[in-house]
Chains A and B, each alone.
Chain A
């Protein structure tokens, strides 16, 4: 039985956020199939909602897209009514993709090691950079 670890999503995934009226949407991407199996299990709509709740307690919708090893999330009520009336410096939520990557998930050491050593599906010019460790 391998050890259970708590890690922030940033160690397993990358993300981008965008805005539409008062909603912020997130694409969350695993680097390979092994990573996708973990995020699909761990990063549910309920967990994303609980993660943002201390700040933005809106409804969260989620869709899995195994064809591109991705999860799609939409957070409602995230922009004080919309970008043109939002008082925050980040009035369009463009930095919020990184806030999603702060979410902590539980993985066992074995599956984490597999996700981190498996090759990426994408081509990177200088070989596959090492997956971030911290």
Chain B
């Protein structure tokens, strides 16, 4: 059994850049790349794709990504794990296989599914309470459009044990994409984990996955603060984080040589706490992580040693994220120039409100914000006095209508064009004539583990 393995970060979301992964493969001495294509909302996007075409429903960027990366990975024996399967893992795997076969490449591809629990959520025999507020699912049950459990690392481990070069999953816990290769490569106990040492190793692996699942955010990208991001070198050529993980669980976070970005105590811990709630009970299907004793030792030169993650046995429930149809929105953006820019924007808003009333267009909310003034921080970024706003070169307004009625959303943009000739003067940049979109509410809940059956299939190699 090997003493240590190296795993590199792939994408951090559907639409991310895969070019930095090239450096990790060519110069980072990795044996695995794991790629997270699914943010919490991505399934909502994929669900809309699947509605249009049942063959879709997966993160389509995996195809061009692997056309670029597979010829670099194959000769080096680098294997690839991703959750780009989304709502249609088999569709994603077949699309990848077809595209690579056209180039004469024939990797062994494994498909992990079984995360789709929509039918169970739609059956009125479970309450499936909202994880955060305890509400009953009944009022939204009819409007559910997807519902997926977060699977753990076990099926990924099995796929790699069976020799898969590429593993494509649906919804799995993001960090499991990384934990799977670590368990496979280092021979850790997973399903049969029993001792504190077993769980602490898994906790180290889960932490590694968490640190790597957001690509450049783990190596100096999106570094929040003032006056410091400028000291992070060459973000345009950022190296995504790489972890070197030892059999005892000790891990080092680093990146490929001659890349931009920064791996240090500060950049690594910003990612450590990202999208974590109780840091003493970070739940995953494989292990519950306590970060309270974690030590991040900065060795300098883009190398941080990670120790001290503590693990506990996972619960008998899996997390599910479901989405339900929740009305429609339509939005416009419009610019008004000096003079009196602020007063003109207020007048336009008042005219729109009166039109909505006069035409009896039902809506739940008209949300108004001023890009450039308050759209990032709301009232925490106080508006200057009106006299000053009226002297501004321009004021932009964004108005968004929330309504249960699609026809009302479709008609919202039509309320504006007349103002170009018959409203206040000096406007520019109107957008939003036709941009209705459906809103989705997110329903996080739990499901008993024994009601979810992960499935592993190996595609037949066509050659």
Contact = CB atoms under 8 A, between A and B. Distances in A.
B380 A54 contact: yes
A81 B140 CA distance: 14
B171 to A, nearest CB: 15
Contact of B377 (A10, A19, A96, A129): A96
A64 to B, nearest CB: 10
B226 A85 contact: no
Given A10-B225, A55-B378, A67 B292 contact: yes
A21 B301 contact: no
B40 interface: yes
Interface stretch (B162-170, B337-345, B410-418, B438-446): B438-446
Contacts of A61: 277-278
A33 B132 CA distance: 34
B270 interface: yes
Interface in A85-112: 85, 87-90, 92, 95-99, 101-102
Contacts of A21: 40, 131-132, 321, 442, 444
B275 A18 contact: yes
A10 B295 CA distance: 25
Interface in A16-33: 16-23, 25, 27, 29, 31
Interface residues of A, number: 61
A39 interface: no
B294 A123 contact: no
A36 B335 CA distance: 44
Contacts of B440: 84-85
Contacts of A82: 441-442
B266 interface: yes
A84 B376 contact: no
B270 A14 contact: yes
A87 B267 CA distance: 30
B231 A126 contact: yes
A99 B380 contact: yes
A95 B264 contact: no
Contacts of A124: 231, 262, 264, 266
Contacts of A84: 41, 44, 323, 326, 439-442
Interface stretch (B1-9, B117-125, B365-373): B365-373
Contacts of A81: 326, 441-442
Given A27-B269, A129-B227, A90 B376 contact: yes
A20 B227 contact: no
Nearest to B271: A16
Given A54-B380, A88-B375, A20 B40 contact: yes
Contacts, number: 188
Given A52-B380, A84-B323, A87-B329, A65 B224 contact: no
A27 B274 contact: yes
A98 B277 contact: no
A22 B277 CA distance: 12
Given A15-B224, A25-B275, A88 B367 contact: yes
B314 interface: no
Contacts of B300: 123
A114 to B, nearest CB: 19
Interface in B291-308: 291-296, 298-301, 308
Given A14-B225, A63-B278, A98-B224, A123 B377 contact: no
A25 B265 CA distance: 20
Contacts of A101: 224-226
B94 interface: no
B266 A14 contact: yes
B228 interface: yes
B298 A29 contact: no
A55 B379 contact: yes
Interface string B247-278: 00000000000000010111101111111111
A2 interface: no
Most buried by B among A21, A55, A87: A87
A70 B273 contact: yes
Interface of B: 40-41, 44, 131-132, 217, 222-228, 231, 233, 262, 264-267, 269-280, 291-296, 298-301, 308, 321, 323, 326-327, 329, 331, 365, 367, 369, 371, 375-381, 398, 400, 402, 439-442, 444
Given A55-B377, A99-B376, 18 more contacts: A15-B270, A18-B275, A21-B132, A21-B444, A25-B274, A51-B380, A65-B292, A69-B269, A84-B440, A85-B327, A85-B442, A95-B376, A96-B377, A99-B377, A122-B266, A125-B233, A126-B231, A129-B227
12 contacts: A20-B277, A21-B444, A25-B273, A65-B273, A72-B277, A72-B279, A87-B402, A88-B367, A98-B224, A101-B224, A123-B300, A132-B227
Interface of A: 10-11, 13-23, 25, 27, 29, 31, 51-52, 54-56, 61, 63, 65, 67-70, 72, 74, 76, 81-85, 87-90, 92, 95-99, 101-102, 120-126, 129-132, 134
Closest 6 CB pairs of A and B: A27-B273, A14-B225, A122-B265, A18-B275, A122-B266, A132-B227
